[in-house]
């Protein structure tokens, strides 16, 4: 018996070493960042907001480290001769590949319903002029675009999807990203994301939550400083997560960002949970939308983020969150009929995960999912009014794939109606990677699970 005990305790560290060796690249390896040189002209211009959406906008941009002062010039279309100048000191961020200056300006006292023109400068080098519009305070209805993981390769094609989404919803108030906008925290991948966004990022505000690919890997993961420099978000979050755990109010809706990848300890988990509880207790908007990178209900095979359900779902149920938007799984999944665990007679939140990446993962056939797709890049359009949120999901070629509407009556009671085509097996085929690795028996199991799931959803 003693011999077996010794073998057991000897086997544990050997097994641990083996697992770490197998998972080293996934957990700890950060490839060296290729050398880069920042542009001498204003680059990577991004429109966001950190204050009141009806009277402010923020602009960030990037330049070389020679210029120490940036400028922004703005005028309204109604009074083009009335020009306001802002200045911004540079913030230099150095990485192993190079260094860049980052500039940030917050524009205040803007007029609701007005269209503005602005341009930015590094020293004497000015950008082109760009337009943006402030919403009318009397109109509570608006639309926005939701895009999941991008994670494109260099010279990728995600820009086509971004612009196709905009063509489908040209009056979008903003574009919402749920993390993993880049493949890894390198300048070249940030450049790729900005190139894909093009003029859209300079004229439509962007809101986002970070994903694991914006983090450096390691025993303690660290968010890329460039994420914080690019995104000028509200500083209303918990002290250790300022600028990434936060909330924005837009018209009749509160959007709340949780940094799911930043949950790396019990302390960080409860710091975010306690903050979320406090925010929800003091939310009086008609609609509540929570965004995070990792899903509470996973679509991919072998994944289950049970700790997120334990941390956040009781609060989502208690405070009547309407919609949870996530990414990470590189598949599409909608769970529209998750019951409210606290109030059994109430409709719970709708949970949606999506992605726009050329990387695809295999889906699992969870009975909680009302709609699924793999091997398919998506973009989503949402229309928000006082009494409903209409959701539509489209494939990269603008084929209508899924839709539903959340209704809310005067008393705050919710109901969901589906407006979706019947599921098609064409969207549920296993990925090429799965086909290479799987056995005939496993393939038969996959097909059996798919058939059973389709039957249960198409009754």
In a domain, 35, yes or no: no
Domain boundaries, position 69: 43-133
Q: Are residues 105 and 171 in the same domain?
A: no
Query: Tokens 């998506």 correspond to what residue?
Result: 378
| Distance in angstroms (rounded) separating the CA atoms of residues 370 and 366 | 9
Task: Say if CB 427 and CB 372 are below 8 A apart.
Answer: yes
Give the CATH number for residue 100: 2.60.40.380
Q: Is residue 220 part of a domain?
A: yes
For residues 394 and 264, state if they share a domain: yes
Backbone angles phi, psi at 449, to 5 degrees: -60, -40
> CA 39, CA 139: separation in Å to the nearest integer?
40
Residue 175's closest CA among 188, 152, 193, 190?
193
Within 8 A by CB and 6+ apart from 136, the residues are 112, 113
Co-location of 325 and 180 in the same domain:
yes
Write the CA distances from 113 to 174, 448, 459, integer angstroms: 15, 55, 47
Residues 113-142: pLDDT tens digits? 999 999 999 988 999 999 999 998 777 899
The Cβ-side half-sphere exposure at 126, using a 13 Å CA radius, reads: 9
Residues 407 and 275 in one domain: yes
The answer on 312 and 357 residing in a single domain is yes
* 244 and 221 in a common domain: yes
Helix (H) or strand (E) holding 314: helix 306-318
Six token digits for residue 302:
């072998």
Predicted pLDDT at 24? 46
Q: Which helix (H) or strand (E) holds 188?
A: helix 187-197
Look at residues 80, 114, 133 and tell me which one is the last residue of a structural domain. 133
Around Cβ 363, how many Cβ atoms within 10 Å?
30
| Residue 15 counted as domain residue | no
pTM to 2 decimal places: 0.93
pLDDT tens digit sequence for 347-402: 889 999 999 999 999 888 988 999 999 999 999 999 999 999 999 999 999 999 99
3-state secondary structure 318-340: HCCCCEEEECCCCCEEEECCCEC
- The reply to whether 128 and 181 lie within a common domain is no
Residue 16 lies in a domain: no
Backbone φ, ψ for residue 157 (5° rounding): -120, 10
Structural domain ending residue among the three candidates 133, 165, 185: 133
Domain assignment of residue 416, yes or no: yes
Do 117 and 146 sit in the same domain of this protein?
no
pLDDT in tens, the chain (459 residues): 556 556 555 566 665 555 555 554 565 678 899 999 999 999 999 999 999 999 999 999 999 998 889 999 999 988 887 899 999 999 999 999 999 999 999 999 999 999 999 999 998 899 999 999 999 877 789 999 999 999 998 899 999 999 999 999 999 999 999 999 999 999 999 999 999 999 999 999 999 999 999 999 888 889 999 999 999 999 999 999 999 999 999 999 999 999 999 999 999 999 999 999 999 999 999 999 999 999 999 988 778 899 999 999 999 999 999 999 999 999 999 998 888 877 777 788 999 999 999 999 988 898 899 999 999 999 999 999 999 999 999 999 999 999 999 999 998 899 999 998 887 788 999 999 889 888 889 999 999 999 998 888 876
Task: Return d(Cα 337, Cα 352) in angstroms, integer.
Answer: 11
Q: Residue 221: CA atoms inside 13 Å, Cβ hemisphere, count? A: 24
Residue 328 is assigned to a structural domain of this protein: yes
Instruction: Check if the beta carbon of residue 147 is closer than 8 Å to that of residue 163.
Output: no
Task: Specify the DSSP class assigned to residue 31.
Answer: P
Task: Count Cβ atoms within 10 A of the Cβ of residue 19 and give its class: 0-12 exposed, 13-18 middle, 19 or more buried.
Answer: exposed
Q: How far is CA 94 from CA 71, 229, 239, in A?
A: 22, 12, 24
Asked, for residue 2, whether it belongs to a domain, the answer is: no
Among 95, 110, 133, the domain boundary falls at 133
Token pair for 383: 């229309």
Residues 41-55: b if buried by 16+ CB within 10 A, e if exposed: bbbbbbbbbbbebbb
Angle, alpha carbons 335-292-225 (nearest 5°): 160
Does residue 54 sit in the same domain as residue 126? yes
What is the number of structural domains in the chain?
2
Do residues 271 and 419 both lie within one domain? yes
Residue 277 has φ and ψ, to the nearest 5°, of -60, -45
Do 127 and 194 sit in the same domain of this protein? no
- Is the CB of residue 244 less than 8 Å from the CB of residue 257? yes
Asked whether residue 171 falls in the same domain as residue 243, the answer is: yes
Residue-wise over 191-225: b if at least 16 C-beta within 10 A, else e?
A: bbbbbbbeebbbebbbbbbbbbbbbebeeeeebbe
Question: Do residues 175 and 144 touch, judged by C-beta distance below 8 A?
Answer: yes
Among residues 109, 107, 112, the alpha carbon closest in space to that of 137 is found at 112
Give a yes or no: residue 27 inside a domain. no
């Amino acid at each position: 018996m003693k011999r077996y005990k010794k073998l057991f305790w000897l086997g544990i560290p050997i097994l641990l070493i083996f697992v770490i060796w197998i998972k080293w690249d996934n957990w700890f390896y950060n490839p060296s960042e290729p050398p880069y040189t920042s542009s001498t002209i204003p680059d990577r211009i991004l429109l966001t907001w950190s204050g009141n959406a009806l009277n402010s906008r923020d602009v960030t941009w990037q330049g070389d480290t020679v210029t120490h002062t940036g400028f922004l010039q703005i005028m309204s279309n109604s009074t083009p001769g009335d020009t306001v100048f802002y200045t911004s000191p540079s913030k230099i961020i150095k990485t192993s590949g190079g260094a860049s200056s980052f500039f940030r300006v917050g524009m205040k006292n803007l007029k609701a319903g007005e269209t503005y023109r602005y341009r930015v400068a590094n020293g004497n080098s000015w950008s082109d002029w760009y337009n943006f519009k402030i919403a009318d305070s009397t109109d509570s209805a608006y639309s926005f675009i939701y895009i999941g993981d991008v994670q494109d390769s260099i010279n990728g094609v995600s820009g086509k999807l971004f612009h196709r989404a905009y063509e489908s919803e040209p009056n979008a108030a903003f574009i919402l990203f749920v993390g993993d906008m880049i493949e890894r925290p390198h300048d070249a991948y940030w450049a790729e994301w900005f190139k894909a966004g093009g003029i859209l990022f300079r004229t439509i505000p962007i809101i986002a939550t970070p994903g694991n690919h914006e983090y450096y890997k390691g025993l303690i993961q660290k968010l890329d400083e460039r994420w914080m420099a690019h995104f000028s978000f509200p500083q209303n979050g918990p002290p250790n997560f300022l600028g990434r755990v936060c909330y924005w109010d837009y018209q009749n809706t509160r959007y709340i960002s949780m940094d799911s990848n930043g949950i790396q300890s019990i302390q960080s988990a409860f710091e975010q949970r306690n903050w979320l509880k406090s925010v929800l207790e003091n939310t009086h908007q008609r609609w509540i939308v929570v965004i995070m990178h990792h899903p509470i209900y996973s679509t991919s095979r072998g994944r289950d983020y049970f700790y997120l359900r334990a941390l956040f779902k009781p609060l989502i149920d208690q405070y009547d969150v309407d919609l949870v938007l996530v990414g990470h799984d590189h598949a599409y999944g909608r769970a529209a009929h998750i019951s409210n665990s606290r109030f059994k007679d109430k409709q719970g939140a709708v949970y949606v995960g999506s992605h726009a990446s050329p990387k695809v993962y295999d889906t699992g056939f969870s009975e909680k999912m009302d709609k699924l797709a793999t091997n398919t890049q998506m973009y989503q359009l949402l229309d928000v009014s006082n009494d409903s949120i209409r959701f539509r999901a489209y494939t990269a070629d603008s084929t209508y794939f899924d839709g539903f509407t959340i209704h809310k009556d005067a008393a705050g009671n919710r109901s969901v109606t589906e407006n979706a085509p019947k599921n098609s097996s064409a969207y549920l085929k296993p990925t090429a990677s799965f086909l290479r690795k799987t056995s005939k028996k496993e393939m038969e199991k996959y097909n059996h699970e798919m058939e059973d799931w389709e039957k249960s959803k198409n009754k």
